[in-house]
Structure 1
Amino acid sequence: MDQHNAAGVGTAPPGYGTDPNLVTPHTPWPRTLSERERALIGVLADIILPGTGEYPAPSGMGITDFFDEWVSAPYGTQQGHRAVITAGLAMVDAEAQRQFGAGFVELDPSRQRAIVDQIASTTAADRKFFIRFRSLVLVGYFTSDIGFKAIGYVGNVPLLGFPGVTPEAQRIIDDELRKLGL
């Protein structure tokens, strides 16, 4: 349904804006995670996907910004993820308090890992958080420039020529075509 101003000229409907500009990225919605939640995300992400000598841990490449933008988005899917993530972060911090008398971020790494191991292998509610969290860590990391480099993804680049299929691959293709009678 078009909305019109007094002169009858069409105007954009109210809302949060247009799709993101991928050339010069800008998020048109406010970030909504607290500093505590962001700190928890950084520590948890680094436990799930530790850094290596060559590649930084997720907290070192901006995973908290990815999470904050994702769960702050005004879309249904992301808002559903927000509910799971924020409730899960609160559960992790509460469990750390219950077991060790301190917040999760303040615990030593062995205690943090013990809580993550418990969450990853227990109840459905806890697992739902862990599965969603782990998925977002992997998506955020491996769709970043650092993640692309880690998996050897070079993207859509021009080739000087197309080398074609290797002889070994061609033999497999030919064998399968013969089996199909083609």
Structure 2
Amino acid sequence: MDQQNVAEAGAEAQGYGTDPNLVTPHAPWPRTLSEHERALISALADLILPGTDEYPAPSGMGIVEFFDEWVSAPYKTQQQHRTVITTGLAMVDAEARRQFESDFLELDVPRQRQIIDQIASPTAVDRKFFIRFRHLLLGGYFTSDVGFKAIGYIGNVPLLSFPGVTSDVQRIIDDELEVLGL
């Protein structure tokens, strides 16, 4: 097939589109969280995973944008997560009003922590919100450039040599292989 025929065939092909732009990513759907929900996410995230002198709090590295993009995505899983997150955020505010007659964002930090401790407790009636929120928070934070640095992840980089596993690790591998009969 000559170059012109290849180009024509490519123009008619029905593929999945171009590769994603991972350098400056952009999601084509509108963000759907309200400003109040975004503020709640920011406050909760910073209380659950506070920043340090070396690493910023989640609100300082874009976690709210991550949440908003995630729960705004038009996919079934993300829409299920949206329901859990938005319902949970409303529950956090309702609990703050029930206990302290004020919205969560208007409470002092000790009272905010008290509410978080209650929804995170293993004895809480419904922990779906906290579990999903924490999962998204940690996933979003520790897969960012800031999070990679915090855990010492350097990525897929070439090595001049491969150091191999330590003798302790090799002993564990050998023991497991023996148990498996290999």
Q: Deviations over 1:11-57 (max 9, x none)?
A: 97xxxx87742233111101110110000001001111111221111
Partner of 2:151: 151
- What SS does the corresponding residue of 1:51 show, helix, strand or coil? coil
Unmatched tracts of structure 2, length 5 or more: 1-10
User: CA, structure 1 residues 97+168, in 2 after alignment: closer, same or farther (shift >3 Å)?
Assistant: closer
Q: Aligned-pair distance for 1:176? A: 5.0
Q: Aligned-pair distance for 1:171? A: 4.2
Q: How much is the aligned-residue C-alpha RMSD, in angstroms?
A: 2.4
Q: Aligned-pair distance for 1:168? A: 3.8
Amino acid at match of 2:40: L
Q: Aligned-pair distance for 1:91? A: 1.0
User: CA, structure 1 residues 58+175, in 2 after alignment: closer, same or farther (shift >3 Å)?
Assistant: same
| CA–CA distance in structure 1, aligned partners of residues 88 and 178 of structure 2 | 54
Amino acid at match of 2:36: R
Bigger mean CA deviation after superposition, 97-106 or 78-87 = 97-106
| CA–CA distance in structure 2, aligned partners of residues 46 and 103 of structure 1 | 17
Unmatched tracts of structure 1, length 5 or more: 1-8
Preserved contact between residue 70 and residue 78 of structure 1 (Cα < 8 Å): yes
- Compute the TM-score of the two structures, normalised by the length of structure 1: 0.82
| CA–CA distance in structure 2, aligned partners of residues 113 and 41 of structure 1 | 14
| CA–CA distance in structure 1, aligned partners of residues 77 and 179 of structure 2 | 44
| CA–CA distance in structure 2, aligned partners of residues 81 and 115 of structure 1 | 21
Amino acid at match of 1:83: T
User: CA, structure 1 residues 177+83, in 2 after alignment: closer, same or farther (shift >3 Å)?
Assistant: closer
The alignment covers a number of residue pairs equal to 169
Partner of 2:7: none
| CA–CA distance in structure 1, aligned partners of residues 125 and 18 of structure 2 | 39
